[in-house]
């Protein structure tokens, strides 16, 4: 019994010591005077976690306006509120902001004060998804690396809005109201380091013009695209992931070697109107062709290299790299043709 009491007291002492040391460490790191200032400058509507002094959490608070942002803040969370306006005043002291999340508010273009965003010189990430924007806001901070504008009402992209965003690597415009006329030949001019462009779930009938040359991921799902122009992908020689699901592509709308592109590793053409598998490159690793109108598959015809030549080189030659093939939702009857397996020796999964 005495041993149990001593054990309990020892455990209590250790826990209390750890807690005291943790709290004391926070005080020591910040300094007593700084700690007092730190707690007093936190907006009353928000939460300032002591363990993360550079972050300010004002999400899900029913806010209608942005409170004054302390100078120390790098990460600002304002999502899920009722904010309608974005003015310069709350950010006067917030010169170190790197990240702003304003998703799921009620911000309109008229509610954004001119220059309110562009003066945030150190901002890297700007999230404005699920708002009421009708065009891409401008001007934007020149240092931006990610701009997320999904699920707005954007139908217009002002001329030159991206011209100075050389650091932007990701632009998300999916689920807006963009027509072909909104994407001119110079719309994406200046985005020299863009790697991901998402224009899915818009109202495009044509492939967009002048995609930045360094783009790796291009997402165009859920549009009404019918034709792939000849040599379209020669202008974006690094494109690796291409999604064209839920469009209106037919065999006649694809050039003979439209998708025979060595850079493409993942090609998604699900839910289109294809009746045959288009020519592919030996480097392709994932191919999605489900829910088209394909009736049969001939492995000899679709094999990107000669099967006889492949047999000569075996696994040490330039054999096709396809690992995943999806063909369900077509009119193809199993079993899988043997020449498919002979050609694509690295196949790990076939869905039919």
Confidence (pLDDT) at 227: 98
- Residues found in the chain: 352
Predicted structure pTM score: 0.86
The separation between CA 49 and the C-alpha centre of its own chain, rounded to angstroms, equals: 28
Q: Is the pLDDT of residue 103 over 90?
A: yes
Q: What is the mean pLDDT of the chain?
A: 88
Confidence (pLDDT) at 312: 52
Confidence (pLDDT) at 15: 34
Q: Is the pLDDT of residue 200 over 80?
A: yes
For residue 97, give the nearest of 150, 40, 56 by alpha carbon.
56
Confidence (pLDDT) at 39: 58
Looking at the DSSP bridge assignments, the partners of residue 270 are none
Structure-block tokens of residue 84: 């309608």
Confidence (pLDDT) at 337: 87
Mean pLDDT for 55-64 is 97
What are 281-313's pLDDT values in tens digits?
999 999 999 999 999 998 888 999 986 655 555
What are 314-330's pLDDT values in tens digits?
544 579 999 999 999 99
Among the residue ranges 103-117, 129-143, 189-203, 334-348, the one predicted with the least confidence is 334-348
Confidence (pLDDT) at 38: 53
Spatial contact of 267 and 284, defined as CB atoms under 8 Å apart:
yes
Among the residue ranges 91-100, 257-266, 334-343, the one predicted with the least confidence is 334-343
Percentage of residues in the chain having pLDDT higher than 90: 80
What are 16-55's pLDDT values in tens digits?
433 334 333 433 444 444 444 455 689 999 999 999 999 9
Q: How confident is the model at residue 236 (pLDDT cuts 50, 70, 90)?
A: very high
Confidence (pLDDT) at 306: 81
The separation between CA 298 and the C-alpha centre of its own chain, rounded to angstroms, equals: 36
For residue 123, give the nearest of 150, 154, 148 by alpha carbon.
148
């Amino acid at each position: 019994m005495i041993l149990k009491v001593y054990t309990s007291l020892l455990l209590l002492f250790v826990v209390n010591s750890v807690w005291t040391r943790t709290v004391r460490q926070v005080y020591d790191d910040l300094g007593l005077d700084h700690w007092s200032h730190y707690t007093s400058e936190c907006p009353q509507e928000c939460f300032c976690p002591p363990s993360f002094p550079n972050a300010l959490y004002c999400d899900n608070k029913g806010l209608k306006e942005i409170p004054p942002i302390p100078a120390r803040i790098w990460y600002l969370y304002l999502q899920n509120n009722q904010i309608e306006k974005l003015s310069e005043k709350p950010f006067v002291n917030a010169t170190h902001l790197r990240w702003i999340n304003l998703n799921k508010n009620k911000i309109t273009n008229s509610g954004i004060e001119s220059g309110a965003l562009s003066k945030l010189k150190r901002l890297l990430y700007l999230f404005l998804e699920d708002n009421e924007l009708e065009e891409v806001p401008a001007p934007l901070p020149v240092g931006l690396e990610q701009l997320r504008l999904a699920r707005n009402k954007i139908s217009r992209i002002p001329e030159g809005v991206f011209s100075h965003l050389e650091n932007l690597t990701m632009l998300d415009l999916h689920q807006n109201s963009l027509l072909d006329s909104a994407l001119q030949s110079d719309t994406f001019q200046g985005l020299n380091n863009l790697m991901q462009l998402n224009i899915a779930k818009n109202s495009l009938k044509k492939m967009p013009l002048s995609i930045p040359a360094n783009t790796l991921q291009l997402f165009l799902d859920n549009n009404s695209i019918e034709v792939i122009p000849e040599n379209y992908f020669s202008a974006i020689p690094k494109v690796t992931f291409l999604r064209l699901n839920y469009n209106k592509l037919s065999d006649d709308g694809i050039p003979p070697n439209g998708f025979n592109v060595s850079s493409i590793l993942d090609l998604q053409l699900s839910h289109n109107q294809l009746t045959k598998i288009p020519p592919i490159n030996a480097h392709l690793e994932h191919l999605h062709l489900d829910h088209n109108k394909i009736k049969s598959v001939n492995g000899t015809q679709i094999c990107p290299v000669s099967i006889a030549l492949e047999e000569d080189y075996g696994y040490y030659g330039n054999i096709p790299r396809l690992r995943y093939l999806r063909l369900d939702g077509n009119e193809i009857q199993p079993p899988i043709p043997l020449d498919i397996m002979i050609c694509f020796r690295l196949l790990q999964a076939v869905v039919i």
